[in-house]
Chain A
Amino acid sequence: MSNTSYISRKQELPLKSENTSLFLQIIISIAVFIFAITLSGVLSIDSMISNWNKSILGSITVQIIPVNNTNKEKALAETMAYQEKAVEFLKSVNGVTKVTPLSDEQLDELLSPWLGDDVDISDLPTPRIIDVKISPDANIDFAQLSMDLAQASPQATLDSHKLWLNKLISFADGINLIASTVLLLVAAITSGAIFYTTQMSLGLHHNIIEILHIVGAKDAYIAQQYTKRMGFLGFLGGVIGLFFAVPAIFFIGNLALKIEGGIISDASLGFGDWTIILSLPFFAMFISMLTAYYTVKQTLKKML
């Protein structure tokens, strides 16, 4: 045997040869897989809400309700006059950067999914729409703006998108809450598996631990060996779980992109989100080490 063989010391507790190592690795791999998928969902929903917020924070929509008149031409002319008044008023508002009344073609395009391509909307009393862009720094009181607009153009109503967005956000928040509960459960199950595996191992190596105590080892010395081993298993399990989770996340992402309507496709993962997901093996390592250390210290307290 070489002279260096006893410099590279062997661990007193033969934890590497334990059968439970494979079991624990599989549990952690599955946990990290589920964790990564769920976390990507949570982060995507967050980015989706943030994108919605961004897109509507910079704009409002003003609707001109069509004037009711048996004479179609007169009614349209009056409605257009109200639109003109509303445009003029909106241009004078501080913080408004652009005011664009939608053309007939644009309105036609917006309504065609509901009314079909064959319907001539000029025959219908359809409202006129004005798209209003607002500076991101603008501090506009929308309630006051709505009242002022109604004075300037009685047929105009303001839609700040808040109502429907709030409903969507509260739905997304509900999904997020469920996903966060799943994350907590997965973390708890992983910790539980590490706790019971560590306890089982402590029982299995009771004699060795007794010898270590007799020669003067502190609990921390024994805990350190478990911490190292469980940390390694946690990291390895994390890498394996992530190896399967990343393609799955891309697959789900591609499926989401195929959904038309633009709502789901707003859900994307940014660089920061990927950094969090890719750091999961380190998170698994940390949880494993912490649980093992706590379990060993608590269990050894019962020994002399």
Chain B
Amino acid sequence: MGIRKGRTVQVMRKAPGGDPFEVRVGSTTEIAIRKSEAALVEITDVSDLKKS
């Protein structure tokens, strides 16, 4: 689904009940992914993106 090393992922919002997540991968791809599968994605924080 395009999640690979070096890409940014942003959690856009959560579905009713808090799961699944709506996640943006890169800039033009948006996906719904369950918490359990999202947990498999290794991330490092680049939070400066979220502010804007």
Q: Do A and B associate with each other?
A: no
